[in-house]
Amino acid sequence: MKFEKRFPSEHGEETGLAGALSELGRRDQRSTPEQVHLRLLDEFREMQEARQGSTVFHARRWNPRWAGVAAALLLCGVAGWLLFHSQSNTGVRTASADGQSIPAVQVAAGSEHMPIGEGHTARTAQTAKPLIAARPAARNLTGHRLQKLAKTHRGHVTVPAALRNSLALVRKGWIPLPYSNPMLPLKDAAVVPVQLSATALGALGVHLSPGMTAASQRGAVYNAELLIGADNFARAIHFDSPKSDSHTQEQGL
């Protein structure tokens, strides 16, 4: 009413237009084709059947949020396990399996036949640089087993660098020492001739045969060559021949 008073001409036009528009709407009798309804009915039935068939599944439907949380927890667990596993394999070892300190021999390069005794220049693990332990499989291999293993798996497997270095040493007549770092390249190593007692050899991880042990009890020392790695730790040993204490004394050492 107010609108009509304010805009009389417009009001008349507006009413006519509104009438025309509603007539347009009333005359428009278009309708959805019947096949849409039929298709919808088919889908409705299928949906109902599916719902009835999986009532339990729908009742306990997976919540995507919880599935995501579970997946994240699983990933964390796997990552933690892998981290722990890698640390146990390549982590720093400060003690040997029997709880004793790890023997480490440091020899000044260039010195000739330097006698190394127990507690002389050997450092305990607490004072030594952290040693990266060899892989258990490579650490426990003797030279013969290493060669056999290399022969068996030649061309079939990719030999890791540590094992490859150890094999190269064995081929040249060296005995790889345990607790050394087999990953270091051999080209940086230096050969140092030394005289070692049986006790010192045991500290290096070299166990003598019973006959040699008996000889060592008489104070025998052994001429050997130590291969010193780039980290200044002994990597491998090469024996010449056993010498008696008297022989050493004769040489004035």
Partner 1 sequence: MPPTLVFKLASPSGCVPDSAGPRADDPQAEASHSAPVDSSLAQAPAPGEVELATRLRQGEEAAFTEIYRAHHAPLYRFALQMGAPNGLAEELVHDVFVELMRSPQGFRPGRGSLRSYLFGVARHRLVDQWRRGRREVSWEEPGTLAGEPPSPDNVSEELSRRQELAQLSRALAALPWEYREVVVLCDLQEMPYQEAARILRCRTGTIASRRHRAHKLLQERLQRNRRGKES
Binding partner 1 by CB under 8 A: which of 4, 12, 44, 148?
44
CB 66 within 8 A of CB 194: no
Q: For residues 34 and 112, which CB has a smaller minimum distance to partner 1 in the complex?
A: 34
Least distance to partner 1 from the beta carbon of 132, Å?
A: 59
Q: For residues 16 and 119, which CB has a smaller minimum distance to partner 1 in the complex?
A: 16
Binding partner 1 by CB under 8 A: which of 37, 85, 148, 153?
37
Binding partner 1 by CB under 8 A: which of 4, 12, 18, 57?
18
**1 interacts with partner 1 by CB under 8 A:** no
CB 103 within 8 A of CB 179: yes
Nearest to 252 by CA among 115, 156, 64: 115
Binding partner 1 by CB under 8 A: which of 36, 69, 190, 253?
36
Q: What contacts 24+ positions apart, CB below 8 Å, involve 120-124?
A: 120/200, 122/200, 122/203
Q: For residues 32 and 241, which CB has a smaller minimum distance to partner 1 in the complex?
A: 32
- For 170, how many CA atoms within 13 A lie in the half-sphere containing its CB? 21
Binding partner 1 by CB under 8 A: which of 1, 2, 5, 31?
31
Q: What is the dihedral of CA 57, 58, 60, 61, to 10 degrees?
A: 100
Least distance to partner 1 from the beta carbon of 42, Å?
A: 11
**48 interacts with partner 1 by CB under 8 A:** yes
Residues 143-162 that bind partner 1 (CB under 8 A): none
**38 interacts with partner 1 by CB under 8 A:** no
Least distance to partner 1 from the beta carbon of 90, Å?
A: 54
Q: What is the dihedral of CA 143, 144, 146, 148, to 10 degrees?
A: 160
Q: Which residue has the tokens 């959805």?
A: 32
Binding partner 1 by CB under 8 A: which of 4, 12, 51, 140?
51
**2 interacts with partner 1 by CB under 8 A:** no
Between CA 180 and CA 169 the distance in angstroms is 13
In eight-state DSSP terms, residue 149 is H
- For 83, how many CA atoms within 13 A lie in the half-sphere containing its CB? 6
Nearest to 130 by CA among 78, 75, 93: 93
Q: For residues 63 and 152, which CB has a smaller minimum distance to partner 1 in the complex?
A: 63
Binding partner 1 by CB under 8 A: which of 28, 59, 211, 249?
28
First to last CA, the chain: 129
Between CA 60 and CA 63 the distance in angstroms is 9
Q: For residues 16 and 185, which CB has a smaller minimum distance to partner 1 in the complex?
A: 16
Summarize as ranges the residues that interact with partner 1 (CB under 8 A): 13-14, 17-18, 20-25, 27-33, 36-37, 39-41, 43-45, 47-48, 51-52
